[in-house]
Structure 1
């Protein structure tokens, strides 16, 4: 061990104390041994370090920091170098704010468009997500601090995320849901990994030996620190055995005692604890070196400009009928839409950044050279219908040559801790589009949201620019693209289906009670649409430009591909070229094509560039569940170069020698997977893929409620007090939503409704411990007075044991949104 001398001088209690937080954001310090606390902070797209009382709900304001575009936006850049550059700026700001570990990026897959946290994740494709994350991690860690890739793993829904059991077959797990983490860890060298809340095939991820030991430690050789998601520790000793170094936030020493007792009674070997302490010490000592010298303040304007550059390269032009864009000088432009007045520029939850600057669209218009004749709100952003707003918007539109319409999803629709109820744009915005089209057909819509939405009105638009959530400088970046100062080069990192019913996980999202079944297997996103031949609105990798590009001269070798791209238009621009690979053999089921490489080139009009995309260890591999390792099937492979997954420009085949592994599948038992039409797989076929019976997915309403049951389950609790409490929560949510307090209503769902009972102890910083929780469960299960006496007695014991000082940190009383 690297720090054996220090560890040998530590008491068992001191070693155990390091395994849990000191408070909400800091680790424990041991002054006599020179071990300092380190600070962990949210920061996927900007630092969220709170100056006042800490919470994980985004309630209390944080120190000002640059709000960069979210991961869902950055992914559209298809530029690994840009991601790394953005990471460098994030790392610099983290150093200034004395943050040792920046909690990001997030690389979970976009399994369903409705997943509430999609705005924080890169893509539906693991290769693209992994490469961009690796670049960002390298950038963050170039300043000596640590990034923290999250949430490991298969954390793809927000509803019941702290207790849901994800049922997924091993091949799909490896190829789809772990590949991005693998790239981020192997290529990005992330020093820290955050475990997810959910269970994976029957075991909490933080305690899952297969995930944490077999794959993360042994196969990937990860030697860094694993930290729980906040409140994500179920069994602390089981987590330690799986290799989890750090539980956050503090539990006021309660779980430290569990570790000590487990070592003393022989359940846990002290050597396991020592290994975890050694890795945590390495993180502490390596990340605090940068703070030995006083940090220089970062240049606010320079960082703001970088945020603008990232936004400009990530915004996607989806429609440009009659070349309505860029806007022609002298044209009268009417600006309509609530999002023009108050932009949607980031998501909601633990990643909320307090921006250093916030560009306003209406103010920026004055300097853009556009002939803006006025602004009208047009609609209420939270969906309330208002005919007067529509009438005023139409009156303005009649006077204009072009209508710039800013639409999208609001802050309470896309929020951590909650999944979206549907894939639609609010009805009042659709009605506005229809009304405007009646008076002026020249509509250019600017769409702001962090995930795919249905666009039934797209035929009534002549232009559509997707800004995603483009950060504090997004408003100006949008205008620069609209006016032609910047040529758009973003391409979609996710597919836009025509309707939600077309999506592969439609029948299996979200898991409502005990589990969620990933019956679609590896067929998510474009892998499903292309293989099953399902029409989409906009395909994966799609994006328009103000110029055109020609692909030619493809050459395929055993090492990779080379080809030529020529700018055949009249303006300079960048093109993101994509390498897809498909297997001609039908022996093992696969998607029709899979992304295996990409590159982005900038060209002046008439210029050409020779492009090389090398093959790597992931180009031809598949995971074989019989040999339990990556294999290559001997076959002809189709090498495709495309401008999107649906726009293949060049194609050639190559024969690849295989590894000779046995075919793991019986084709007769897996017809949906071999056809790719895997959006409605039967339970029998899914079990054939899994190799075992799927667990019961519904609650056993006859059993007493326990630690990992949720407040929502109090609806069938034995105790009348608990049932009354449940209906009070239900009514409060309904009432607050009804009167327009939607953010507060969401907070109830996030921090109360779906919270497991153990969260009362794990997330209150010592305000309640597990023995007190036992009393609460007695009350819930029908023993009101016995339970109440137990709670009071255990509370008295806890206060007495801490000499009346009681709580280490009582700054938060719940957790709905997490890092």
Structure 2
């Protein structure tokens, strides 16, 4: 331990106090020992340090900060260096706002296109996500503060996120859902990890010994701090035993007492607490060093330009029929779509950033050189039909050479706390598109959303530019791509299926009650589509350019692959070359190909460069469930250099000697996994993969409701009070949606409907404690008056204790 002498000076109460927050965003301090508090702030793509009352849902405004493109956007750059640059600027701003721990990046896999926080996550591929995250972490931590990689792990749905049990087999867990974390932790060397809300195979992630000790601490040798997601602690003592040092936010000392009692009765050894305190002290002392240096002012203009550069490199050109783009000089352009007036540039929830400035398309048109003949909104932002707006847009479009149509998903559709209902663009926007096509077929659509959408309408546009959620400078960046000032080089970090029903997790998303079963196993995203030969709209890694690239002269050695890349077109540009590897034997089921490397290369017109992509420890490995280790299968491997997962330009093979591990599977019991057609797996075959029975997935309606049951389950409660409350909540949600207050309606789902009862205590900062919660549960379970009396009695006790504490604290100050 680094701080053994200091820890010896602490009382048991002081040690326990460090294990939970002082308030919503700060850790506890111990003034007499010179231990200061830390400030933690949201920050996947910009600092969200709240100046006034704190909340976790982005309700109250934060201090102004640069809003960079979201992770889903930056991943399309396929540029680790760009991730590091963004991290560098995030770190500078975090230091300027006196933040010790920046809560990001988020690197959960995009298992399903409807997951509500997909806009915060990089990719459906763990290698790409891990590499981009590692770069960002290095940038953030170069300033002496800590990044916080999240949400560890398998947090892939918002519905019932605080209590859902994720059922996943060990190999899929390791290869798909933990590899990005492994890269971020080992290569990025993050100082902090945030545990997820959900359960994993029967235990909450922050209490899961296999996840937190055997993998994170023992295998990956992680010696940093683990912090709960806000309100994510279930059993505080079990979490501490697993090595989850910090619980956030504050519980007003309630869980400190649980730790103290556990030490006294022997449930926790004193050394376990000391080790947790030691790791937390190291985080405090190392991240506060930067604040002893002279304070540096932030150049907001410079940071804005970096946000613009990041957006420019991340924009994806998806369609360019007849080379309608870049727009020819002098062409008359009609600007249509509400998002051109008010940019859609970030998601909603805890990651929402208050930008230092915000550019909108209409404000940037003049300097872009694009000749605009006018603007019409064309549609109501939140889905309401308006024939008048459509008609006015069509009148404008008739006189244009080209229509720039800004469409996408609104802020209420993509938000933390709830999953999307479908993959569709709102109907009123499609009505506008169809009407415009009748009067002017020269339509270039500019799409703004943070995740995949269906595009049955794609034949109605000649050009399609996907800006994703491009941050505060995204509008100008898109215009520079449209005008040709920037040659687009973004490539998709996720697959766009033709329709939602084609997705491998279609039958198993989301988990509605107790659990969610990952029956598709490792076959998520392109791993499924390419192996099962399912046609897609746009494949993983796809993106067009205003120039062309030729690949040649592949050479494969034991160290990696080398090839030549030539810009065969007429303008300078960047190409994201991708390395895929496929095993030629069938002993162990695998996807046809998996991403194992990539490199972004800039080339002038006519220029050729030799590109090398090295192999690493992840190139040929697989996780063997029999040996419980990473192994290598002895086989010939196909080495593919590609422009996308389906656009393979160069191929060679290499024989790799294996580790001699026994085959882990009985092929006859896993036919769907060996064929790759894993979108509709039977429970029996899934159990063969798991190696055990799946737990019951439905609520037991006859059981009394407990701490980890949700408000949604009150529909089955014995207490009339609880059932009335449930129906009132559902009516309020329905009513607010129907009168157009969708954001407010969403808040009900986010902060009430799917909240487990323990969250009432964990998220109220001590206003309601666990004994009071016991009384609430009595009321819910049919003992209304007994429960009410219990709540009032416990409340009275708590007020009395608080008064005593205040008196003692006041006396101590006077001394």
Query: TM bucket by the smaller chain?
Result: over 0.9
Which residue of structure 1 aligns with residue 666 of structure 2?
666
SS at match of 2:367: coil
Which residue of structure 1 aligns with residue 436 of structure 2?
436
Deviates more, 1:287-296 or 1:73-82: 287-296
Q: 1:293 offset after TM fit, Å?
A: 2.2
Q: Deviations over 1:338-378 (max 9, x none)?
A: 11011110000000000001012101001111110000000
After superposition, residues 398-797 of structure 1 pair within 5 angstroms as 398-797=398-797
The whole-number CA distance in structure 2 between the counterparts of 1:751 and 1:711 is 10
After superposition, residues 260-279 of structure 1 pair within 5 angstroms as 260-279=260-279
SS at match of 2:757: coil
Q: Deviations over 1:205-263 (max 9, x none)?
A: 00000000000000000000000000000000000000011000000000000000000
Which residue of structure 2 aligns with residue 800 of structure 1?
800
Which residue of structure 1 aligns with residue 813 of structure 2?
none
Which residue of structure 2 aligns with residue 218 of structure 1?
218
- Contact 1:147/1:190 (8 A) holds in 2: yes
SS at match of 2:330: coil
The whole-number CA distance in structure 2 between the counterparts of 1:644 and 1:291 is 45
Q: 1:804 offset after TM fit, Å?
A: 6.7
Q: Deviations over 1:294-345 (max 9, x none)?
A: 3211100000000000000000000000000000001000000011011110
After superposition, residues 68-467 of structure 1 pair within 5 angstroms as 68-467=68-467
Q: 1:805 offset after TM fit, Å?
A: 7.3
- Contact 1:766/1:806 (8 A) holds in 2: no
RMSD over equivalenced CA pairs, Å: 0.8
- Contact 1:379/1:386 (8 A) holds in 2: yes
Moved over 4 A (4+): 804-807
SS at match of 1:611: strand
How high is the TM-score relative to the length of structure 1? 0.98
The whole-number CA distance in structure 1 between the counterparts of 2:434 and 2:646 is 30
Q: Deviations over 1:104-130 (max 9, x none)?
A: 000000000000000000000000000
SS at match of 2:654: strand
SS at match of 1:803: helix
The whole-number CA distance in structure 2 between the counterparts of 1:266 and 1:495 is 51
SS at match of 2:162: coil
SS at match of 1:779: helix
Structure 2 segments unaligned to the other structure (5+ residues): 808-815
The total of aligned residue pairs comes to 807
The whole-number CA distance in structure 2 between the counterparts of 1:228 and 1:59 is 21
Q: 1:279 offset after TM fit, Å?
A: 0.1
The whole-number CA distance in structure 1 between the counterparts of 2:723 and 2:331 is 62
The whole-number CA distance in structure 2 between the counterparts of 1:270 and 1:789 is 38
- Contact 1:165/1:198 (8 A) holds in 2: yes
- Contact 1:38/1:99 (8 A) holds in 2: yes
Structure 1 segments unaligned to the other structure (5+ residues): 808-819
Q: Deviations over 1:400-424 (max 9, x none)?
A: 0000000000000000000000000
The whole-number CA distance in structure 1 between the counterparts of 2:295 and 2:704 is 54
Q: Deviations over 1:756-813 (max 9, x none)?
A: 0001110000101000000000000000000000000001111111117789xxxxxx
SS at match of 2:122: coil
